[in-house]
């Protein structure tokens, strides 16, 4: 993997015949009790550097995958529907030398507010008008259809299952727990874009720690453990919606735990 270009809101890398561009939708701050221990109570034993002004920093990222067969957007950011500091996906696309008209296909890792809201613009229209297909895991189609703001997208909705390929060179990988149909996407058999598998770097040192908004905390913990080991055994690079800057890097074993090492030029 080679870094091609970096801006304040984007990072483009080459992965075989495809390029993957991290797009920063912004960063918000979350309450410290969003990280939960095995007893499901909010953590209190934070190390120096885990918190900023008593809160958990949470970047929100999407990923643009380009190749000979088209342009796929994985997740669409929070738009203005969630916390302050988010909704910069359009600016990130512009910095990366792209724009919403270039997106042919969208695939969501899951249907939480910070991943689907950017599908609709501030006027209630389609933010990506040329994306004729929007893939959502079968288990989450009902949740998507229940969101009133997504009504303009419904004619383009497509079910997504394990092993499906929303773009040539990209394959869906089941990663349930954070949500029932949570999906990761493997790019060219080398880079796993894993959505919300990790919300904070502390989860590398303590992978048993879960997130307040995991819909099935035990399953999320098991999925994380299994995918961490698979990433190491397969030698994959990783990317995630909430990973530290720039959101793409490699996972390494660190004693009985793990560590994340961001990609550099």
pTM score of the predicted model: 0.97
| 44 close to 35: Cβ distance less than 8 angstroms | no
Rg (CA), the chain: 17
Average pLDDT of 18-32? Answer: 97
CA dihedral 247, 250, 254, 256 (to 10 degrees): 90
The pLDDT, as a whole number, for residue 38 is 84
The pLDDT, as a whole number, for residue 83 is 86
Average pLDDT of 48-77? Answer: 97
The pLDDT, as a whole number, for residue 1 is 86
Helix (H) or strand (E) holding 67: strand 55-67
Q: Round to whole Å and give the CA distance between 60 and 240.
A: 9
Residue 90: Cβ within 10 Å count: 18
Helix (H) or strand (E) holding 62: strand 55-67
Q: How sure is the predictor about 104, in pLDDT bands with cuts at 50, 70 and 90? A: very high
Token match 């394959």: residue? 171
Average pLDDT of 204-214? Answer: 97
Q: Round to whole Å and give the CA distance between 66 and 19.
A: 5
Contact residues for 242 (Cβ-Cβ < 8 A; gap 6+): 58, 59, 60, 61, 196, 198, 199, 200
Mind giving me the DSSP string for 190-224?
Answer: TEEE-TTS-SSTHHHH-TT-EETT-SSHHHHHHHH
Average pLDDT of 149-157? Answer: 97
- State both tokens at 58: 């949470």
Q: What are phi and psi of 4, to 5 degrees?
A: -100, -45
Average pLDDT of 215-243? Answer: 98
Mean residue pLDDT of the chain comes to 96
Average pLDDT of 79-98? Answer: 94
The pLDDT, as a whole number, for residue 265 is 74
Average pLDDT of 51-59? Answer: 97
The DSSP letter of residue 156 is G
Q: How sure is the predictor about 136, in pLDDT bands with cuts at 50, 70 and 90? A: very high
pLDDT in tens, 172-202: 999 999 999 999 999 999 999 999 999 999 9
Q: How sure is the predictor about 84, in pLDDT bands with cuts at 50, 70 and 90? A: confident
The pLDDT, as a whole number, for residue 214 is 98
Q: Round to whole Å and give the CA distance between 250 and 59.
A: 18
């Amino acid at each position: 993997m080679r870094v091609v270009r970096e801006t304040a809101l984007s990072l483009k890398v080459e992965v075989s015949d495809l390029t993957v561009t991290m797009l920063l939708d912004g960063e918000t701050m979350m309450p410290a009790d969003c990280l939960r221990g095995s007893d499901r109570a909010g953590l209190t034993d934070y190390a120096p550097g885990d918190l900023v002004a008593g809160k958990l920093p949470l970047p929100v990222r999407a990923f643009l995958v380009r190749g000979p067969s088209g342009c796929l957007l994985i997740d669409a950011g929070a738009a203005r529907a969630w916390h302050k500091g988010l909704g910069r996906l359009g600016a990130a696309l512009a910095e990366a030398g792209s724009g919403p008209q270039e997106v042919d296909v969208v695939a969501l890792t899951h249907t939480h507010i910070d991943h689907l809201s950017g599908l609709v613009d501030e006027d209630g229209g389609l933010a990506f008008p040329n994306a004729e297909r929007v893939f959502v895991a079968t288990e989450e189609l009902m949740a998507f259809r229940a969101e009133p703001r997504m009504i303009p997208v419904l004619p383009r909705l497509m079910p997504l299952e394990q092993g499906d390929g929303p773009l040539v060179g990209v394959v869906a990988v089941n990663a349930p727990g954070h949500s029932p149909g949570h999906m990761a996407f493997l790019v060219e058999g080398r880079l796993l874009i894993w959505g919300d598998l990790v919300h904070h770097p502390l989860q590398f040192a303590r992978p048993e720690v879960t997130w307040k908004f995991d819909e099935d905390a035990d399953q999320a913990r098991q999925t994380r453990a299994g995918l961490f080991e698979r990433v190491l055994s397969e030698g994959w690079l990783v990317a995630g919606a909430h990973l530290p800057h720039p959101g793409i890097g490699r996972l390494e074993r660190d004693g009985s735990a793990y560590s994340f090492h961001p990609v550099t030029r």
